[in-house]
Chains A and B, each alone.
Chain A
């Protein structure tokens, strides 16, 4: 990794190894009469990959959208990198977002832009100090990291599902985030490509020293990527542990996921 990138990431935010990077307390979120999150508590430590598992509609995606400020919680507190989201104004929230990478379920690549323009988009806005040469070399570097160096001038419509996910991942890591949020990164992909994406998530964690929250249904992805796994049920964390602990659990509900 280049020195300038290290400086940027380090100067943006520094934490001790034992410090929580995300701290959520009693998070509640409802949509109309439907209560999705009912007092959820969760912590993510620095360098940790936390996998969040649960049935559809249990509020997994709602959780990470609350973390990044796309949804406003009804109650509870979300502290991300020592900043309480409740106390942040729009500018403060945007500054925090510059340190967070969000991989959307469908990739959310900008259809009207080429791959290069998609990668330039966040870089030009988040890392305004970079020259056009530095931007180009950064783009080439992340494309190399996701194994798609030759896709630079392609349109998103010319890419397969797996390639779109890789480019979307490249777009999120291009700004050197401290925290990565993955919303079902392997959904809709074949097992081989799913495994490649899971490996890529691990590589990103090692290379860029990120902490991650990975929302998934895919047990294989959870096993490959998760340092710890939190299972959501009825809007709360039902159980938390590592893969081996949960896969050997005697709880019938937990068993249904791992068998």
Chain B
């Protein structure tokens, strides 16, 4: 009886207390979830840092795997030429077609080769090539190393008294670092040809005149920072692709996850590195 009376009199208080309890419970669950997410992110950052330091240490060891390095250069460089070349040519063509009306409004159509040259050399060439490579090379590395992990090939290498970091990771990362700037130069060149075709759709400019106009607008201060950042793009794609593959789980599902997350993370890192590189170049100039 007393209990019923107590509940009737204190009904609003009980309701408020229940609401508060539920609410605080939700808050604590959310807090735990966010804490776990934060610690997961931090441990991922820590793991990547350790992986980079291991890769760096293994790079400067005596037994460098020259043959595997050359094979990876072929895999990364030669086998990406088609994709990078077509993308570069289309990039130059589209940029020219899209820019012509704007320049025509100012009567500055003759500036088209110069504008395309600066855009392609400084920014579009390196970034688009890096993003294409993040998709092709990054996913390839993630999937290949991931499947090697799942099928115990990495363990087999370790049991054969071979350092898998040196054989698998260092060779791939160095090949990506070396090949990416070369692919960027290749893409830039084809972008120029694409642009020349774009200019000639509605005009008549000789190839020599086009290249002369294009090169008159660019200098080494455009080319060198772009090439340096391409090395970093290569490093980022190589390290992220290898890290995701090397640390894949044991199931076959993890191979797909490794490939997917390698592409996503390396693309994001390319954009972040580009932003930092542009800031540094701007300060130095």
Q: Which of B151, B156, B162 has the most CB of A within 10 A?
A: B156
Cβ of A108 and Cβ of B160 under 8 Å apart?
no
CA distance A113 to B153 in the complex (A): 12
A98 CB–B CB distance under 8 Å: yes
Cβ of A108 and Cβ of B153 under 8 Å apart?
yes
Cβ of A70 and Cβ of B153 under 8 Å apart?
no
Among B147, B151, B155, B160, point to the contact of A122 (Cβ < 8 A): B160
Cβ of B161 and Cβ of A125 under 8 Å apart?
yes
A105 CB–B CB distance under 8 Å: yes
Contact with A along B5-29 (1 / 0, CB 8 A): 0000000000000000000000000
CA distance A68 to B147 in the complex (A): 22
Q: Which of B151, B153, B159, B161 has the most CB of A within 10 A?
A: B159
Give the A-B pair count, Cβ closer than 8 A.
Answer: 48
Measured between beta carbons, the chain B residues less than 8 angstroms from A100 are 159
Measured between beta carbons, the chain B residues less than 8 angstroms from A95 are 161
Measured between beta carbons, the chain B residues less than 8 angstroms from A112 are 144
Residues of chain A from 2 to 27 with CB closer than 8 A to chain B in the complex: none
Cβ of B159 and Cβ of A97 under 8 Å apart?
yes
Query: Which partner residue on chain B sits nearest A110 by CB separation?
Result: B153
Among B144, B155, B162, point to the contact of A70 (Cβ < 8 A): B155
Known contacts A106-B151, A111-B151, A121-B160; 10 further A-B pairs (Cβ under 8 A): A65-B155, A70-B158, A98-B161, A105-B152, A108-B156, A110-B153, A111-B147, A122-B161, A125-B161, A126-B160
Residues of chain B from 134 to 167 with CB closer than 8 A to chain A in the complex: 144, 147-148, 151-153, 155-162
CA distance A134 to B161 in the complex (A): 20
Q: Can you report 24 residue pairs joining A to B where beta carbons are below 8 Å apart?
A: A70-B155, A94-B161, A95-B161, A97-B158, A97-B160, A97-B161, A100-B159, A102-B156, A105-B152, A106-B152, A108-B152, A108-B155, A110-B148, A110-B153, A110-B157, A111-B151, A111-B153, A112-B144, A122-B161, A122-B162, A125-B160, A125-B161, A125-B162, A126-B160
Residues of chain A from 164 to 218 with CB closer than 8 A to chain B in the complex: 175
Query: Which partner residue on chain B sits nearest A123 by CB separation?
Result: B160
Cβ of A126 and Cβ of B156 under 8 Å apart?
no
CA distance A192 to B158 in the complex (A): 32
Query: How close is A139's CB to chain B, nearest CB, in angstroms?
Result: 15
A257 CB–B CB distance under 8 Å: no
CA distance A102 to B160 in the complex (A): 9
CA distance A111 to B147 in the complex (A): 10
CA distance A126 to B156 in the complex (A): 13
Cβ of B152 and Cβ of A104 under 8 Å apart?
yes
Measured between beta carbons, the chain B residues less than 8 angstroms from A102 are 156, 159
Measured between beta carbons, the chain A residues less than 8 angstroms from B159 are 68, 70, 97, 100, 102
Contact with B along A78-116 (1 / 0, CB 8 A): 000000000000000011011010101110111110000
Contact with A along B222-241 (1 / 0, CB 8 A): 00000000000000000000
CA distance A175 to B160 in the complex (A): 9
CA distance A175 to B156 in the complex (A): 14
CA distance A196 to B156 in the complex (A): 23
CA distance A121 to B158 in the complex (A): 12
Measured between beta carbons, the chain A residues less than 8 angstroms from B157 are 110, 121
CA distance A258 to B33 in the complex (A): 50
Query: How close is B285's CB to chain A, nearest CB, in angstroms?
Result: 44
Measured between beta carbons, the chain A residues less than 8 angstroms from B162 are 121-122, 125
Measured between beta carbons, the chain B residues less than 8 angstroms from A68 are 159
Query: Which partner residue on chain A sits nearest B160 by CB separation?
Result: A122
Query: How close is B152's CB to chain A, nearest CB, in angstroms?
Result: 4
Query: How close is B53's CB to chain A, nearest CB, in angstroms?
Result: 16
Query: How close is B170's CB to chain A, nearest CB, in angstroms?
Result: 15
Query: How close is B54's CB to chain A, nearest CB, in angstroms?
Result: 12
CA distance A110 to B151 in the complex (A): 9
Query: Which partner residue on chain A sits nearest B159 by CB separation?
Result: A102
Residues of chain A from 101 to 159 with CB closer than 8 A to chain B in the complex: 102, 104-106, 108-112, 121-122, 125-126
CA distance A95 to B159 in the complex (A): 10
CA distance A68 to B161 in the complex (A): 10
Measured between beta carbons, the chain B residues less than 8 angstroms from A94 are 161
Query: How close is B196's CB to chain A, nearest CB, in angstroms?
Result: 40
Query: How close is B65's CB to chain A, nearest CB, in angstroms?
Result: 10
CA distance A42 to B162 in the complex (A): 28
Among A98, A104, A109, A125, point to the contact of B155 (Cβ < 8 A): A104
Query: How close is A61's CB to chain B, nearest CB, in angstroms?
Result: 10
Query: Which partner residue on chain B sits nearest A102 by CB separation?
Result: B159
Measured between beta carbons, the chain A residues less than 8 angstroms from B160 are 97, 121-122, 125-126, 175
Contact with A along B24-45 (1 / 0, CB 8 A): 0000000000000000000000
